[in-house]
Amino acid sequence: MATLIQENGMKLSKGTHGVVVNHGMTTHGVPNHMVPDHEYCESGQTAQAAQQCPDTESDNHQPPAEEEEETPEIDIMINNVVCSFSVKCHLNLRQIALNGVNVEFRRENGMVTMKLRRPYTTASIWSSGRVTCTGATSEDQAKVAARRYARALQKLGFQVRFRNFRVVNVLGTCRMPFGIRIIAFSKKYKEADYEPELHPGVTYKLYNPKATLKIFSTGGVTITGIEMDIKNNTALIEALLLEELPDCDEASDAGVSDDEVENVQLPSPRGFDEIFERAIEDVLAEVPPSSPSNEDVLEYPINQVPTSSLPAPSVQPDLPSANNSSHRTNQRLPEPNRKWKKRDLSTSLPEYIADTGVVDDWFAHCTTPTDIFLVLIDDIVDNIVYQSNLYATQKSKVLNLKKEELLTFIGINFFMGYNTRPAWRDHYSSAPDLNNALICKTLPRDRFAIILSHLHCNDSSKMPSGCKDKLYKIRPMIDALNKKFEMVYHGTRELSVDESMIKFKGRSVLKQYLPMKPIKRGYKLWCLADQRGYIKKFQIYQGKDEELNTKFTGYGLGEKVVLELTEQDWSKGKVVYFDNFFTSVALLEKLKTENTYACGTIRSNRKGLPGNMLADSQLKRGDSDHRFSNLDIGYWKWKDNKMVHLVSNFHGNEEATVSRKEKNGTKSAITCPIAVKDYNMYMGGVDTADRLRALYCIDRKSPKWWHRLFWGLLDIVFVNAYVIHGLIMEQTTVKDFRRSVTQGLMTMKDASQKRKTSTDNTAKGGPSKRRKSDYSTIKDVRLARSVSDVQSAVERIFPLVYEFRKPHSPADEEKLRQRRAARSRAGPLPTEEKPLEQAAPQTDDPMHLVTLSDDDAWE
């Protein structure tokens, strides 16, 4: 199926039974046994050839009447073969740098780089005797280059023993003989991930064989991340090649063809408002046979067509709505018989006599801000220490992390929040304008890097198969924090529910894009906070397909969030405020039955609202209109600069005044319902927490997606500790409180744990001494181990991308023919003139490379 193009001219790859892989190609470059019969008939050139294709399987197939066109081939280009070996002796890097040829000493990395011209490769040499060679384009070249590097070291006077040669990884690229509709491809296969704002290609993960491929619309494919045993997977790869393709003309799930999906142009974020309005106008323009009254029309949600004989559109617009349930099969609760009337009703809110402060038993011994912070994170620190040590053991390493050392590590990260550098390594730099002597004395650089790389919150080896929890890696931390936040603090009576964001611009299925928020990209959190800014409970949004608590079936996403966050406060007489994303009449009725009071803004098109309100044109600034249902649910329509819609299950129709600034700069008092004034007063709890968290947050990039969440949750712990400190101790600023907590954490590391070699070096303000073990090659590199691995990945992905191929243009066909003609004229490239064993002089030295047997050399 594939031709491997390398410098030494590799031949056609053969299957497990000695059959050339690219046999029996169709006109599209696909093996005949991989294309259904009806599609093979369509590729014929005459009607006679089409008639020869049977409807059912038979043993004898008639050949087509005309000669088939020359079949295109897939050229797999091997770009890089990385190998490693050991010389089993200590290497003096200074001696190599002074006496070697084409050698460069890299002090910042603690290694020497050496280059060869034939084959053109580069080697990284460490003093431990480990050598890594890159740049080869075949396995044979990698073997020759490795022996030549070992010979070069032997000539410099080192007692070299050539051992442990292995191919670490192979990187390959290829180009399919057709274009690929990557949008349709990513929609069909769940293993595909397409984020056009980050990368123009589709990332496709193969699990057996294990590989990661980058697929582009032009047909280019980059193969990385393979780690497999070719001998054990040969039969599997052959079975994958014989796999029958699905029908290429099959319609997509949304009822839109692949061509339409490919040519779709997404509007800007603000352009969705125009699409929203046009969709509503199209729905309202349809007149059902039985003309409903205006009041009935207002009963329908803005994104739901009334149940009537209206013709359903072929493609339903994906309109935003909080009433849509997170589970697609969720059915709305039946609507009760509500009767709205304009009447007088007084506010019914009993006196709140419960405690609104902290639980004294938890903070009786606290004398410093650090003690308060430790009360909140004591449980999770013990778990992180255990899981991090376990993770290091699973990777055959020794971490020996202690609780005090982890707290010091956290304190250093808090310190980096208000004493910033471009990168955390700059704090350990020897440059006088970047170096931070305090951090260098507290924890060595290498120890900091080891703790950061082995930080773990949960045992990934115990993850159940088919686990749908996308937050499994930090689930223990989330549960422990929610439990502790609820136990140590009562909170004020007035609570607020709102969304918060933790900034993240990397790649993750949990990342959300909110263009109207200050933090536009990141992880979205649902938070329950009190008036002071204390986060009592939070949830991390995992996507619309995430099934929330099954006890609250029949409610929309926003309604479920409020019910889950406030469930532990039911029957306590709490008052909850939330915005129009969460609010519905059914939600307020549910909370009232649980002795919980609620108030919030609401969208005017929500289901269940009265339809006999005054029109917007009839209201002036400061005017309002209200209705009360038979269940004492109040609905207000108040005119400020814009129209405001509000609902409450405890407010009456009393009025209050709010101050507003006029165009001439003066302030005037505007009348408003009492519900509006209370909403403006108590709704900002989550915003207060976000403001405190954003002042000196830990803002650092990381290759691990959950690190951003880990540091973001620690910032939430800090905000809660700051709120508690203001209640039981003297009020201070956020900066002084963070400095106090940081200094307390950074002094917890036991002095006996500091290594003498690191302390002597860092005491001068410079970086710690580098250890040899840091430069050993990682054994479990997730890259291809051989050229056959790359070819197997291409063979595995070819049937999948062929389904989404684009039709060839005459220009593309001409380019393919020219490429094949040039390749046939060039022929195979010449191999090495002399093997290494013949070029080397003979010697009786038992350590000489030439005298080594194959078993010794390639073990």
Residue 528: C-alpha distances to residues 15, 535, 565, 811, 835 (Å): 61, 6, 6, 61, 72
Whether the pLDDT of residue 267 is over 70: the answer is: no
Least confident among 252-261, 350-359, 648-657, 676-685: 252-261
Confidence at 726, pLDDT banded by 50, 70, 90: very high
Residue intervals of the chain classified under CATH 3.30.310.10 are 76-172+832-859
What pLDDT is stored for residue 680 in this prediction? 94
Neighbours of 192 (CB within 10 A): 17
pLDDT digits (tens, 9 = 90+) for 500-516: 999 999 889 999 998 88
Strands 121-125 and 130-136: antiparallel
Confidence at 9, pLDDT banded by 50, 70, 90: very low
Whether the pLDDT of residue 643 is over 60: the answer is: yes
pLDDT digits (tens, 9 = 90+) for 418-463: 999 999 999 999 999 999 999 999 999 999 999 999 999 999 999 9
Neighbours of 179 (CB within 10 A): 20
Closest CA to 5 of 555, 799, 756, 819: 819
pLDDT digits (tens, 9 = 90+) for 597-618: 999 999 999 989 998 889 988 9
* pTM, full prediction: 0.53
**Choice between 265 and 457, residue whose per-residue pLDDT is larger:** 457
Closest CA to 454 of 529, 383, 512, 401: 401
For residues 81-87, give the mean pLDDT: 91
SS (H, E, C) 467-498: CCCCCHHHHHHHHHHHHHHHHHECCCCEEEEE
Neighbours of 433 (CB within 10 A): 6
Least confident among 292-306, 340-354, 526-540, 663-677: 292-306
Encoded tokens for 151 = 């010979």
Helix, strand or coil for residue 686?
helix
Residue 203: C-alpha distances to residues 78, 193, 213 (Å): 20, 5, 6
Confidence at 758, pLDDT banded by 50, 70, 90: very low
What pLDDT is stored for residue 118 in this prediction? 86
8 Å CB contact between 214 and 224: yes
Least confident among 113-117, 160-164, 288-292, 691-695: 288-292
pLDDT digits (tens, 9 = 90+) for 550-598: 678 888 889 999 999 999 999 889 999 999 999 999 999 999 999 999 9
What pLDDT is stored for residue 475 in this prediction? 94
User: Residue 679 is inside which H or E element, if any?
Assistant: helix 674-682
What pLDDT is stored for residue 76 in this prediction? 79
What pLDDT is stored for residue 403 in this prediction? 92
Phi, psi values for residue 150, rounded to 5°? -65, -40
Whether the pLDDT of residue 278 is over 80: the answer is: no
Confidence at 728, pLDDT banded by 50, 70, 90: very high
**Choice between 375 and 52, residue whose per-residue pLDDT is larger:** 375
Residue 349: C-alpha distances to residues 592, 595, 673 (Å): 12, 11, 16
Those residues with Cβ within 8 angstroms of residue 346's Cβ, 6 or more apart along the chain or in another chain = 652, 654
What pLDDT is stored for residue 170 in this prediction? 82
Closest CA to 487 of 425, 530, 536, 429: 536
Report the C-alpha gap between 95 and 105 in whole angstroms: 10
For residues 251-257, give the mean pLDDT: 36
Whether the pLDDT of residue 493 is over 70: the answer is: yes
**Choice between 456 and 817, residue whose per-residue pLDDT is larger:** 456
Whether the pLDDT of residue 753 is over 70: the answer is: no
Report the C-alpha gap between 442 and 412 in whole angstroms: 8
Distance of CA 583 to the CA centre of its chain: 30
Encoded tokens for 202 = 């589709």
User: Residue 327 is inside which H or E element, if any?
Assistant: none
Phi, psi values for residue 668, rounded to 5°? -135, 155
Residue 641: C-alpha distances to residues 601, 619, 622, 745 (Å): 15, 11, 9, 50
Cis peptide before 119 (omega within 30 of 0): yes
Provide the percentage of residues in the chain whose pLDDT is more than 70: 69
pLDDT digits (tens, 9 = 90+) for 153-198: 999 999 898 988 988 888 888 888 888 888 888 888 877 888 776 7
What pLDDT is stored for residue 185 in this prediction? 84
pLDDT digits (tens, 9 = 90+) for 215-251: 888 888 888 754 333 333 333 333 333 333 333 333 3
Strands 2-5 and 74-86: parallel
Report the C-alpha gap between 130 and 84 in whole angstroms: 7
For residues 644-651, give the mean pLDDT: 94
What pLDDT is stored for residue 210 in this prediction? 65
Cis peptide before 209 (omega within 30 of 0): yes
Bridge-partner residues for 207, per DSSP?
Answer: 210
Instruction: Look at the domain 76-172+832-859 and name its fold.
Output: TATA-Binding Protein (3.30.310)
pLDDT digits (tens, 9 = 90+) for 377-386: 988 999 999 9
Phi, psi values for residue 166, rounded to 5°? -160, 145
Q: Which amino acid is at 348?
A: S
Provide the mean pLDDT of the chain. Answer: 75
Report the C-alpha gap between 287 and 308 in whole angstroms: 10
Report the C-alpha gap between 779 and 42 in whole angstroms: 50
Residue 244: C-alpha distances to residues 32, 57, 556 (Å): 10, 14, 42
Report the C-alpha gap between 332 and 310 in whole angstroms: 21
Closest CA to 677 of 322, 347, 342, 345: 347
Whether the pLDDT of residue 781 is over 60: the answer is: no
Report the C-alpha gap between 334 and 552 in whole angstroms: 14
Encoded tokens for 182 = 């990557």
Whether the pLDDT of residue 60 is over 50: the answer is: no
Provide the percentage of residues in the chain whose pLDDT is more than 90: 38
User: Residue 123 is inside which H or E element, if any?
Assistant: strand 121-125
Residue 597: C-alpha distances to residues 421, 777, 810 (Å): 47, 61, 70
Residue 410: C-alpha distances to residues 403, 418, 684 (Å): 11, 14, 29
8 Å CB contact between 806 and 178: yes
For residues 617-644, give the mean pLDDT: 92
DSSP code per residue over 443-470: S-HHHHHHHHHH--SS-GGGPPTT---T
pLDDT digits (tens, 9 = 90+) for 87-103: 989 898 888 988 888 89
Encoded tokens for 724 = 């508690």
Confidence at 796, pLDDT banded by 50, 70, 90: confident
Total residues found in the chain within this entry: 859
